[in-house]
Each structure stands twice: as C-alpha cells, then as structure tokens.
C-alpha cells in the first residue's frame, strides 16, 4: 500500500480503495494493527486530496474531521451498504464537515442496477431516514444536495474540474429524461425534485464528451438485443 501510494504520486495519478465499510474490517485492523481503518490508512500514506475512499461507513467524528482536513474524498454507495447490511454511512456529518462526497454504485456483486440516478435517490432517502425521529437530528437532505453529490460531488472526489456541471469550457456530459412519461404526471411544478422523488426512469438521451451514446433510450453503438441473448445463454449454461 505504501509503495502504491508512492508510485501513484510519482506518476501523478489518484489513489482509491474501499475503507471502513464493515464492522469486521474495523475489528480486523484493531486486532492486527492496533488502529482503526482511517488511522491505519493514514499511516500508509493514504490520506490526502489525491485519495478517495468508497463507503466510509464506520468512522468517528474525529475521523470525519481528519478526512475533511486532508481533502480526502468519499464515494457513498448506499444500495451496496443496504444490500450487504454493512451500515449507514454518516453522509450528513461528512457534508457538514466539508468532506468531498460523491455517489458510487460499488460493483455488480452488490448492486444489480448500477443506475446512478437510482443511487442518488437511494442516497437522498437514506439520508432522510438518518434524521428520522428516534434515529438522529438535523434537517432533511434536499433533493438538490443529493443531485449535487452525484454530479459536482463526484467530480470533486475525482479531482476533475472539467466535468460535474454544464458550463462553458467543460465537457458536454449530460443526460435527459422524458418527462412526458406517465411516471412524471403531476410533477411538473418541480422537475428537478421529480428526477429523484419519482421512481427513476431510463435515460432518454445520454451525451458523453459531446458524443451521443444513448438516443431515445437505446445505445447507438451496441447491439443491445444481441448482447442480452448472449448474456441469457451464458446464464443458463452457468446455472445448469
């Protein structure tokens, strides 16, 4: 890990790992190294504005302050944490402390959809649950805060200043939703909020670096039906 950090900084690339995801990870680092995960990561040189961690569930207030002070980023993966029963990441505390927070889907082993819009919605709902009566205190997370984590927040975590928002000089990365779908009926008074409060719908268009990759809900460069047939055949073979 130390050599990886040194190599990354020598080559000018960023460092990423999963950290403080589960209670057993904390027990392991305490038993093996006598330190909690964040302190152990710091000893290995894995804190700084070129580092970002996935999960960050089991952290103390002091550790959140340390993460914020070093400019370290956190990728919040709510669906994975819920599916694996890992725990509730203290996202409201992270944001209050000024930690850079983005949204992640983790991997297909713990997230079947990998839908970033659905993940942002999950993050919003989970953050609101975290301040429910009897659980925690504080204001409910705003929809726009969750959307910001999924856009500007992700860009900040990755150290990118060319993506994350639609501005002159930045890459044209964006998606559109078809708000004429029945799911959005009655939601036109605040379509920004509807993007997360309504059950997520497929993207109508997706443009990456100015290039359209999804057009009217379909990938323009892939044979979706052919891929699905191949996938289904492989799945049947594996199961049998």
Residues 146 and 183 reside in one and the same domain: no
What range defines the domain where residue 40 resides? 2-165
Q: Are residues 103 and 14 in the same domain?
A: yes
CB 117 within 8 A of CB 196: yes
pLDDT at 122 over 90: yes
Give me the pLDDT at residue 105, please: 94
Q: Which of 99, 128, 104 is nearest to 55 (CA)?
A: 104
- Beta-carbon count within 10 A of 240 CB: 5
How do residues 192-236 score in pLDDT, each as one tens digit?
A: 999 999 988 999 999 999 999 999 999 999 999 999 999 999 999
Q: Is residue 149 located within the same domain as residue 216?
A: no
Sequence-distant (6+) residues with CB within 8 A of 100 are 52, 71, 72, 73, 74, 153, 156, 157
Instruction: Quote the pLDDT of residue 136.
Output: 75
Same domain, 138 and 226: no
- Distance set, CA 104 to CA 4, 80, 101, 126, 138 (Å): 23, 9, 10, 14, 24
Q: What is the pLDDT, as a whole number, of residue 138? A: 80
> Which one of 165, 182, 203 terminates a domain?
165
Q: Would you say residue 112 has pLDDT above 90?
A: no
User: Is the Cβ–Cβ distance between 141 and 89 less than 8 Å?
Assistant: no
- Cβ 119 vs Cβ 150: under 8 Å: yes
What would the mean pLDDT of 75-101 be, rounded to a whole number?
Answer: 96
- Do residues 139 and 179 both lie within one domain? no
Same domain, 90 and 182: no
Residue-wise DSSP of 47-116: -STTEEEEE--S--HHHHHHHHHHT-EEEE-HHHHHHTT-----HHHHHHHT-EEEE----TTT-SS--H
Taking CA atoms, 129 is separated from 123, 133, 136, in Å, by 10, 9, 8
Indicate whether 157 pLDDT > 90: yes
Both 126 and 192 in one domain: the answer is: no
Look at residue 127 and tell me whether its pLDDT is greater than 90: yes
| Residue 135 in this model has a pLDDT that exceeds 90 | no
Within this chain, do residues 25 and 130 fall inside the same structural domain, yes or no? yes
- In tens, the pLDDT along 37-60 reads 999 999 999 999 999 999 999 999
- Number of H helices and E strands in the chain, helices first, is 11, 8
Q: Which two tokens stand for residue 220?
A: 């323009």
Count of domains for the chain: 2
Residues 200 and 159 in one domain: no
Mean pLDDT (whole number) for 114-119: 93
pLDDT band at 107; cut points 50, 70, 90: confident
Residue 116 banded pLDDT, cuts 50, 70, 90: very high
Verify that 94 and 210 share a domain, yes or no. Answer: no
Give me the percent of the chain exceeding a pLDDT of 90. Answer: 92
Beta-bridge partner residues of 218: 215
The mean pLDDT of the chain is: 95
Q: Where residue 134 falls among pLDDT bands split at 50, 70, 90?
A: confident
- Residue that wins the pLDDT comparison between 134 and 153: 153
pLDDT above 90 for 111: no
The rounded distance, in Å, linking the Cα atoms of 102 and 156 is: 8
| Phi, psi dihedral angles at 212 (to 5 degrees) | -75, 125
What average pLDDT score do residues 12-38 get? 97
What CATH code is carried by the domain that includes residue 142?
3.20.20.140
């Amino acid at each position: 890990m130390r050599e990886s950090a040194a190599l990354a900084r020598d080559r000018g690339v960023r460092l990423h790992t999963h950290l403080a995801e589960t209670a057993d990870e904390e027990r392991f680092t305490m038993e093996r190294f006598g330190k909690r995960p964040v302190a152990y990561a710091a000893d290995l040189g894995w804190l700084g504005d070129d580092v970002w961690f996935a999960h960050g569930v089991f952290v103390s207030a002091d550790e959140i302050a340390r993460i914020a002070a070093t400019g370290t980023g956190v990728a919040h993966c709510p669906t994975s944490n819920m599916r694996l029963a890992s725990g509730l990441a203290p996202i409201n505390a992270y944001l209050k402390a000024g930690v850079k927070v983005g949204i992640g889907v983790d991997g297909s082993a713990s997230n079947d959809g990998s839908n970033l819009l659905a993940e942002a919605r999950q993050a919003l709902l989970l953050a609101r649950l975290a301040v429910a009566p009897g659980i925690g205190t504080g204001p409910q997370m705003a929809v726009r805060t969750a959307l910001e984590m999924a856009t500007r927040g992700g860009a900040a975590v990755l150290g990118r200043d060319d993506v994350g928002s639609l501005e002159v000089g930045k890459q044209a990365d964006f998606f559109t939703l078809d708000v004429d779908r029945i799911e959005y009926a009655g939601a036109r008074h605040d379509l920004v909020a509807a993007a997360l409060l309504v059950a997520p719908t497929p993207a109508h268009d997706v443009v990456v670096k100015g290039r359209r990759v999804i057009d009217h809900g379909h990938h323009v460069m892939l044979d979706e039906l052919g891929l699905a047939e191949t996938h289904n055949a492989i799945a049947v073979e594996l199961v049998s």
